Amino acid sequence: MIAGQLAFLAEAAAEPLENHHDQTGRALEVEETQTYLDEDLTIQSGMVAGEVPQEEERVLTDGHEIETETRNVKRRVASEWVADVDGEGWILAEQTHTSDLEHEPDWPFNDFSRFAGPEIAPVQLKPWEFVRNQRDADREWTVEMTTYESNLDDTTIEWGHGALKSKATDADVGVALTTFWNDVHVRLVIYSSGYLAIWEPGEMKPELLGRFIHEEIVPIATFDDDAEVEEDQEAEQSTFEDSGVKA
């Protein structure tokens, strides 16, 4: 499964990403760079490593007394990524971490900001707009499941494994579907939180994944946290119901 959180740069970076290692423990490895000269598009992929804060609880016993002690520690983490930083300005990170559970993920995007230059922040996605775009492009597509705010508790969109709602920070609306794109059947789930997961094909070369994100996901991305309630709900419901799926 290919999965991750999408984030946008505040502005396009001046240059593509390069390998980086420093004494703080931050590291960036660019494993592949694919340039499409006809579209002025550069897709890169690799690994990023860094440190994130974590609360650690210790249990202390003294005779019949039990006390707990909480302290802040740092732990080493790593994530795969795919990005176009000097074009559309986006990054898809497989693993994310947040310093504050009440806020959106900040790692590895804070480290990428140091590597690329511009500030980087997670974005929201519009699942219903993705469905509408598949329909308008006259593609072969099938919606398999949708979730709405009214039935979010214990909601899972999956085929055997993966893509739990809990993995999508503040997920509230999602759609699971299969679409025929670029001569490939792509089976995926998209959450409005900005999290997406692809089951089929089981493996996608970074340049193919990057092109899919560039063509299909970036156009439905927004920084607007309330995008789903500002959209015409009647049109959204109609789009899903046209596919034969009910929430």
Determine the average pLDDT of the residues in 204-223: 92
129 and 231 together in one domain: yes
Choice among 183-192, 208-217, 226-235 with the minimum mean pLDDT = 226-235
pLDDT at 97: 87
Element (H, E) at 8: strand 2-9
Residues 181 and 200 in one domain: yes
Residue 230: what pLDDT?
A: 43
pLDDT at position 234 is 45
Determine the angle formed by the axes of helices 233-242 and 127-136, rounding to 10 degrees. 60
Instruction: Clarify whether residues 202 and 235 are in a common domain.
Output: yes
pLDDT above 90 (res 46): yes
Q: Both 197 and 134 in a single domain?
A: yes
Specify whether 238 is located in the same domain as 129. Answer: yes
Tens of pLDDT, residues 80-127: 999 999 999 999 999 998 876 556 678 999 999 999 999 999 999 999
User: Residue 242's pLDDT is what?
Assistant: 53
Both structure tokens of 153: 């508790």
Residues 128 and 237 in one domain: yes
> Is 63 found in the same domain as 163?
no
Q: What is the pLDDT of residue 244?
A: 45
246 or 208: which leads in pLDDT: 208
CA atoms within 13 A of residue 60's CA, in its CB half-sphere: 6
pLDDT of residue 24: 82
Q: What does the DSSP assignment read for 35-77?
A: EETTTTEEEEEEEEEEEEEEEEEEEEEETTEEEEEEEEEEEEE
What is the count of structural domains for the chain?
Answer: 2
54 and 86 inside one domain:
yes
Residue of 41 and 9 predicted with greater confidence: 9
In this prediction, residue 21 carries a pLDDT of: 92
Q: Are residues 28 and 116 in the same domain?
A: yes
Give domain status of residue 247, yes or no. Answer: no
> Is residue 141 domain-shared with residue 91, that is, in the same domain?
no
Q: Is the dihedral of CA 9, 13, 16, 17 positive or negative?
A: negative
Q: Where are the alpha helices (DSSP H) in the chain?
A: 109-116, 127-136, 206-212, 227-230, 233-242
Q: Which of 119, 104, 90 is nearest to 6 (CA)?
A: 90
Of 101, 122, 143, the residue at which a domain comes to its end is: 122
User: pLDDT digits over 19-32, tens only?
Assistant: 999 888 889 999 99
Chosen domain end from 96, 122, 148: 122
Residue pLDDT, tens place only, 132-189 = 999 999 999 998 877 664 343 433 444 334 445 455 545 567 888 999 999 999 999 9
Cα(97)–Cα(107) distance, rounded to whole angstroms?
5
Mean pLDDT of the chain: 81
Residues 148 and 171 occupy one common structural domain:
yes
Q: Would you tell me how many other CB atoms lie within 10 Å of the CB of residue 94? A: 18
Whether the predicted pLDDT of 72 surpasses 80: yes
* Distance separating alpha carbons of residues 163 and 188, to the nearest angstrom: 9
Closest CA to 213 of 44, 14, 10: 44
136 lies in a domain? yes
The values of phi and psi at residue 114, to 5°, are: -70, -35
Domain that holds residue 114: 2-122
